[in-house]
Amino acid sequence: MGFEGRSVEGLVMGNFWESKRVYVTGATGLVGTWLVKYLVESGARVVALIRDRDPQSELFRSGLEGRIAVVNGALESYYDLERGLVEHEIDTVFHLAAQTIVGTAYRSPLATFEANVRGTYNLLEACRVQSHTVKRVVIASSDKAYGSADKLPYDETMPPAGRFPYDVSKSCADLISQSYFHTYDLPVVVARCGNIYGGGDLNWSRIVPGTIRSLHRGEAPIIRSDGTYTRDYVYVEDAVSAYVAMAEALHKPGVAGEAFNFGPAQPYRVREIVDALRRLMNREDLEPEVLSVAKAEIRDQFLDSAKAQRVLAWKPKFTLEQGLAESIEWYRGYFARFE
C-alpha cells in the first residue's frame, strides 16, 4: 500500500489542528513524514525545517512537500530555527530532527552531539524567545536516554543516564528540555519511544527495513548483534498518535515539563523480529547471518507506558504482526518501483 493512501490509525481527524501553525523538524524522517501527513490532513499549516533535500524521502516522493512551507536550514544554526518560528508565527513545535543511528554516533560522536544536543537547546531557546506565539513544544527523545539499567522496564521516575554517544545525546536533550520548563515555564513535553519502525524508513542498517530488503532480494538477513538483544518495537503510526496526544494535552495539569514512555508492553529479541519477518514473507529458508559485532549498544531495553495510558489515554493500536505486515506491504510497493 502506498504511503499517500494511508490515514494514521487510531487518530480522529478533529478540529484541534485546524489552522494551527506547526513547525516540524525532522520532517523528512520516518516519523516526521507520517506526522506531517496527519497534520496536513487535519487542517494544520505545516512548516518544515529541512537541511538537505532527499528525493528518496517519502515527504518528497508522496508529494507532501508541495502542501507545506519549507525553511531551509540546520539544527546547529539558532538563526535558522528562529527564522522559521518568527516568519510563520508558529504556535506548535514538534522537534523530531536528530542524528538517529547508534552506529553513526559511535563513529562520529561530535556530529551527533552537535545535532542532538546543540540542536535541541537552539530550538528551545528560540521557542523561549518567541514564547508569545509558541504555545506547545514536543521533543522526540528515546528509550536510549535511560542508558543501561539493572531494573526493567524503564519508568519515568528513572533518571536519564546514557553512557554511549547516542544515548548521552538523548539524555542531554531530555535534561535541557525539562530545564526550560522548570526555569522558564516553557510548555514542553518529552516523548521516549522504543524502536520505531514502519514504511518510509530507508536506513537499511536498522533491523526491520534491512531484513525486509534482504528477504525481498532473496538474501540472508544480517544481525549485527548476537540476536538476543531485547527492545520495544513501536509501529510508526502508533508513534505519531503518541506525539499528537502529547501536543493536544499540553495545556492539561501533569503534562507540561513531563516525559512519557511509549512502548507496546511486549519486548522482543532481535532474532524474534527477524524470524517474524521471515515467516510473514515466506522466506524461512533464509537463515540470518549473525555477526555479533554490535558496539556501543545497550543489551536490553523496554518501557513501562502506564503513565501515557493513564494521563494521555494512549495505547498502541498495532500488534507487532500487524505493524510488520503493514511495513512489508509498504516496502514491496517501494521496491516494485525499481523492478
Contacts of 43 (CB under 8 A, 6+ apart): 15, 17, 18, 19, 20
The pLDDT, as a whole number, for residue 296 is: 83
Region 127-141: mean pLDDT is: 98
| pLDDT for the residue numbered 89 | 98
State residue 304's pLDDT score: 97
Mean pLDDT of 78-91: 97
Whether the Cβ atoms of residue 241 and residue 307 lie closer than 8 Å to each other: no
Q: Say which CATH architecture domain 19-197+232-266+301-317 belongs to.
A: 3-Layer(aba) Sandwich (3.40)
> Could you tell me the pLDDT band of residue 13, with boundaries at 50, 70 and 90?
low
At residue 4, the pLDDT reads 47
Asked whether residue 201 carries a pLDDT value surpassing 90, the answer given is yes
pLDDT at 1 over 50: no
The pLDDT tens digits for 138-180 are 999 999 999 999 899 999 999 999 999 999 999 999 999 999 9
Give the model's confidence band at 11: pLDDT under 50 very low, under 70 low, under 90 confident, else very high: low
Long-range contacts of 106-110 (CB under 8 A, 24+ apart): 106/164, 106/165, 106/166, 106/295, 106/296, 109/165
For the cut 80, the answer to whether the pLDDT of residue 7 exceeds it is no
pLDDT of 196 reads: 97
Query: What is the value of pTM for the model shown?
Result: 0.94
* pLDDT-based confidence at residue 282 (cuts at 50, 70, 90): very high
Answer whether residue 332 shows pLDDT above 80: yes
Answer whether residue 5 shows pLDDT above 50: no
Percent residues over pLDDT 70 in the chain: 96
Q: What is the DSSP string of 39-74?
A: HHHTT-EEEEEESS--TTSHHHHTTGGGGSEEEE--
For residue range 242-272, list pLDDT tens digits in order: 999 999 999 999 999 999 999 998 999 999 9
The pLDDT score that the predictor gives to residue 3 is: 47
Counting every residue written for the chain, the total comes to 339
pLDDT at 34: 97
Mapped onto helix, strand or coil, the DSSP state of residue 330 is: helix
- Distance, in Å, from the CA atom of 82 to the CA atom of 163, rounded to the nearest integer, reads 31
Structure letter (DSSP) for residue 300: B
Please state, as a whole number, how many other Cβ atoms lie within 10 Å of the Cβ of residue 123: 29
Separation of alpha carbons 217 and 214, rounded Å: 5
User: Which is catalytic among the residues 38, 154, 166, 334?
Assistant: 166
Query: Is there a contact between 316 and 193 (Cβ–Cβ < 8 Å)?
Result: no
Catalytic annotation present for 233: no
Q: What is the mean pLDDT of the chain?
A: 94
* 86 has a pLDDT exceeding 60: yes
